[in-house]
């Protein structure tokens, strides 16, 4: 698979279970190269090497002085630089002494190791049990959609306010999980309905005080609809939803709800 900023190839990888008796599982391993990731990794490495080089140069000039009078102190300082800049794999150092007996430090970066690291820039692996007939390039598309799934975990802890509950029976646990999942499903469908009704880039104004155009989320939709009130009906006057802000009317329209005809449960 090739695109403007990514290249992919695949092979097979065998995974062993945590126990020796566990069967081995063969999965597809899709190796993806992203030019954007490669550029970022190269820039980060160059920055780390530059910062480490400046610190090592300072240490080199300070060797034998009051602060770094022994090889142990120089070694300890090198260790701090190595851990801070993450250059343990490519740094080569040598602590010695000159003809006057003063400590000296020489250092350099192993260019062969840096070249091997640069060759791996931008590559990452995706593991999948899907067969090529089921999903070829779609494996990468599904991976890119992963943040949408992760965002729903925050919805559990945020708008839905799910907290730990102690229950006596497994069936009650199962029932509670079912109710929570149904609530999350309704929450997601509300967000989906509003975005689909907006069409185009799926943005609207009025959700934030600065009136900027944003994609509505389920959290923000329910926040604005939470202040809606209903006027009780009479024999001659049906109940009606009272709208206090224009954004509420817009959201109800996008959701296909007629504020003049609220639905009541049949009793």
> What would the pLDDT profile of 67-114 be if each residue is shown by its tens digit?
998 999 999 999 999 999 999 999 999 999 988 888 999 999 999 999
Helix (H, G, I), strand (E, B) or coil at 119: helix
Q: How is residue 101 annotated by DSSP?
A: S
How far apart, in whole angstroms, are the C-alpha atoms of residue 209 and residue 220? 12
Exposure letters 96-112 (e unless 16+ CB within 10 A, then b): eeeeeeebebebebeee
The answer on pLDDT for 185 being more than 80 is yes
8 Å CB contact between 43 and 51: no
pLDDT confidence tier of residue 4, bands split at 50, 70 and 90: very low
Bridge partners of 125, per DSSP, are 31
Q: How is residue 172 annotated by DSSP?
A: H
Residue with tokens 């067969």: 131
User: Residue 77: which H helix or E strand, with range?
Assistant: helix 71-85
Closest by alpha carbon to 26, among 47, 44, 12, 45? 12
How far apart, in whole angstroms, are the C-alpha atoms of residue 52 and residue 212? 43
How far apart, in whole angstroms, are the C-alpha atoms of residue 29 and residue 10? 5
Task: Find the Cα–Cα–Cα–Cα dihedral 112, 115, 121, 123, rounded to 10°.
Answer: -70
pLDDT tens digits for 165-183?
788 888 888 888 888 888 8
User: Looking only at Cα atoms, what is the longest distance across the chain?
Assistant: 109
Where in the chain are the domains? 1-144, 151-267
Q: What is the pTM of this model?
A: 0.55
Sheet holding 25-34, edge to edge: 6-15, 25-34, 123-128
pLDDT tens digits for 32-49?
888 989 999 999 999 999
């Amino acid at each position: 698979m090739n695109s403007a900023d990514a290249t992919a190839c695949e092979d097979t990888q065998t995974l062993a279970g945590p126990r020796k008796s566990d069967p081995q599982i063969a999965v597809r391993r899709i190796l993806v190269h992203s030019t954007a990731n490669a550029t970022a990794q190269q820039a980060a490495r160059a920055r780390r090497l530059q910062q480490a080089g400046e610190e090592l140069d300072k240490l080199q000039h300070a060797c034998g002085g009051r602060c770094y009078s022994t090889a142990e102190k120089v070694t300890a300082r090198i260790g701090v630089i190595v851990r801070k800049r993450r250059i343990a794999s490519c740094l080569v150092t040598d602590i010695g002494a000159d003809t006057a007996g003063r400590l000296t430090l020489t250092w350099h970066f192993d260019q062969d190791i840096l070249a091997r690291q640069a060759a791996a820039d931008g590559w990452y692996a995706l593991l999948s049990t899907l067969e090529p007939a089921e999903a070829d390039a779609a494996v990468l598309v599904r991976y890119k959609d992963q943040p949408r799934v992760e965002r729903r975990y925050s919805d559990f802890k945020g708008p839905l306010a799910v907290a730990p509950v102690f229950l006596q029976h497994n069936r009650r646990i199962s029932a509670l999980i079912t109710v929570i999942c149904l609530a999350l499903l309704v929450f997601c469908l509300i967000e989906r309905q509003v975005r689909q009704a907006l069409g185009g880039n799926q943005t609207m104004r009025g959700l934030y005080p600065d009136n900027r155009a944003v994609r509505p989320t389920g959290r923000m939709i329910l926040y604005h609809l939470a202040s809606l009130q209903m006027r009780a009906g009479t024999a001659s006057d049906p109940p009606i939803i009272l709208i206090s802000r224009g954004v509420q009317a817009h959201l109800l329209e996008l959701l296909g709800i007629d504020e003049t005809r609220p639905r009541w449960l049949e009793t």
